[in-house]
Amino acid sequence: MEKNKNRRCVIAGGADIGDYEFLREKLLPDDYVIYCDSGLKHMEGLNVKPGLIIGDFDSHEDPHMDVETIVLPCEKDDTDTVFAVKEGIRRGFEDFLLVGAVGARLDHTLGNVYLLEYLDSLGMKGCIIDDYSEMEMISGERVVVPDRYSFFSVLNITGEAKGITIENAKYPLSDAEITSGYQYGVSNEVLPGKEAYISVRSGKLLLIKVR
Q: What is the pLDDT of residue 120?
A: 96
What is d(CA 32, CA 3) in angstroms, rounded to the nearest whole number?
Answer: 12
Summarize the chain as % helix, strand, coil (round to 5). Answer: 20, 35, 45
Handedness of CA 77, 83, 87, 93 (dihedral sign): negative
- pLDDT of 112-137, one tens digit each? 999 999 999 999 999 999 999 999 99
- Residues in CB range of 63: below 8 A, 6 or more apart: 40, 53
- Residues in CB range of 34: below 8 A, 6 or more apart: 9, 10, 11, 12, 50, 51, 52, 53, 54, 84, 87, 88
What is d(CA 116, CA 133) in angstroms, rounded to the nearest whole number?
Answer: 14
- pLDDT of 163-206, one tens digit each? 999 999 999 999 999 999 999 999 999 999 999 999 999 999 99
Of 31, 45, 5, the C-alpha closest to 14 is 45
Tell me: pLDDT of 102 over 90: yes
pLDDT band at 150 (very low <50, low <70, confident <90, very high): confident
Rounded mean pLDDT of 153-157?
97
Of 92, 133, 144, 95, the C-alpha closest to 116 is 95
The dihedrals phi and psi of 144, each to the nearest 5 degrees, come to: -105, 135
- pLDDT of 13-25, one tens digit each? 999 999 999 999 9
pTM for this entry = 0.92
Q: Which domains does the chain have, with CATH numbers?
A: 2-131 (3.40.50.10240), 138-210 (2.60.120.320)
